[in-house]
Amino acid sequence: MKDSVPNESIRMATKIVHSGEAHMGAQGELITPIAQSAVFCYENQAQVMRYVRDEEKRFEYARYGTPTHVAVERKMAALEGAEDSLLFATGMSAVTTTLFCLLSQGDHLVVVEDAYKRTRGFCTETLPRFGVECTLVPPGNTRNMLAAIRPNTKVFFAESPTNPYLAVLDLPPLIEGCHKRGVLLIIDSTLATPINQRPIEFGADLVLHSMTKYLAGHNDVLGGIVSGRADILKRLRDFQGEMGGSADPHQAYLILRGMKTLQLRMEKMNESGMAVAKFLEQHKKVARVFYPGLKSSPYHAIAAKQMSGYGSLVSFWIKGGEAEAFRVMDALRIPRNAPSLGGVESLVCHPASLTYYKSGRALREKFDIRDELIRYAVGLEDVEDIIADLNQALAQI
Ligand SMILES: Cc1ncc(COP(=O)(O)O)c(C=O)c1O
């Protein structure tokens, strides 16, 4: 396949549109087709032998990839500056398959506490059943985070920015500290995208994304991806064949289509996220805003060093409790009351109820998921409309 444009000579926006895709398809088609086949065939046994001896690149079975998967993976590797990428059916499938692949009985894992709830649950509840110990560390001080590393620690799993409190980790010293101790570092960079942050440039071993969010960007498809060192990706690719969390070709196509507007969407979302955060910060009914782009954020200095934009997820505490939060949620007219983030449509959620109700108050208190917390995922609507809507909703309390 002749590449659309050589990678090394082009900038980000051009990579987003062209990288990973053929200059033209076998029939001259511009768009990478959906290779909607579960099975791939061979001309004869000679071709089978060339394939199994790695002398000829072929496809075999869609669980091991299709040409549509490869286009997403190659595009993502180009955006992250990674040696390779591997597509998964969901972000959680990327998390669980990667950790199962890298950890064995007797190993220890460090996870940043303010991680996506399901990731944290897998690490603290499921992995221990397989003899893997897990320590949670609060995000922030790098020395304290590194102090959790033990002689049997294999992996440090971090999110940056974190979800929902948008803590930003100081990546270069964290990565260096892990590597000095022989620990592999994985960053879930979902909230940043490669437009705002590229952890591989700082030396991270693996970077992971829920593509369901900004990368696919249209709230209509699930997906996950892991990028990084080719030697690890080779093991992971083989292990995915066993675990089975592969994407479907049609899903890969929707992700690829969504990705092509990533630069434009992120520019607008960075702008709107900042405007909403600034609006909320000065509002008298708002007690605290969590957004790394704000100068008042304890993470702003670090974020400004390693990120080129701060995204569109804004978390805030209103003045009041559950009743007031519910009133604001129900008064909002533009965002849908729904989980997720990073899509075209604005979404708002009350994490203490939607995400954490069943976990019980003790767990909510442990992770500071307060009744007054609202998480707003700003979409692509006009930001003045979004702010006017927030203003009228906050006037209800
Ligand atoms: C930071 C982060 N990582 C991973 C995931 C899981 O991704 P998915 O929903 O695609 O399985 C999520 C989902 O909300 C997330 O917010």
Share of the chain above pLDDT 90, in %: 96
Given this structure, which CATH class describes domain 262-394?
A: alpha beta
In this prediction, residue 200 carries a pLDDT of 98
In this prediction, residue 9 carries a pLDDT of 80
- In the reported structure, the alpha carbon of residue 104 is separated from the centroid of ligand 1 by a whole-number distance in angstroms of 24
What's the one-letter identity of residue 92?
Answer: M
Query: Does the pLDDT value for residue 179 go beyond 80?
Result: yes
269 Cβ neighbours under 8 A, 6+ residues apart: 214, 311, 312, 342, 378, 379, 380
Query: Does the pLDDT value for residue 255 go beyond 90?
Result: yes
pTM: predicted TM-score of the whole model, two decimal places: 0.96
The preferred substitution site among 92, 191, 312, 354 for testing ligand 1, maximizing ligand atoms within 8 Å of CB, is 92
The preferred substitution site among 87, 111, 163 for testing ligand 1, maximizing ligand atoms within 8 Å of CB, is 163
Mean pLDDT of the chain: 96
Angstrom distance (rounded) from CA 17 to CA 370: 41
Query: Does the pLDDT value for residue 7 go beyond 60?
Result: yes
Strand positions, DSSP E, the chain: 84-88, 108-112, 133-137, 153-159, 184-188, 206-210, 224-228, 286-290, 313-318, 336-337, 347-349, 373-377
Query: Does the pLDDT value for residue 1 go beyond 80?
Result: no
- Which segments of the chain belong to CATH 3.90.1150.10? 262-394
- In the reported structure, the alpha carbon of residue 48 is separated from the centroid of ligand 1 by a whole-number distance in angstroms of 38
pLDDT in tens, 47-105: 999 999 999 999 999 999 999 999 999 999 999 999 999 999 999 999 999 999 999 99
Is the Cα dihedral 223, 227, 230, 235 positive or negative? negative
Assigned token pair, 243: 């675990």
7-259 fold: Aspartate Aminotransferase; domain 2 (3.40.640)
Query: Does the pLDDT value for residue 3 go beyond 60?
Result: yes
- In the reported structure, the alpha carbon of residue 92 is separated from the centroid of ligand 1 by a whole-number distance in angstroms of 6
- Which segments of the chain belong to CATH 3.40.640.10? 7-259
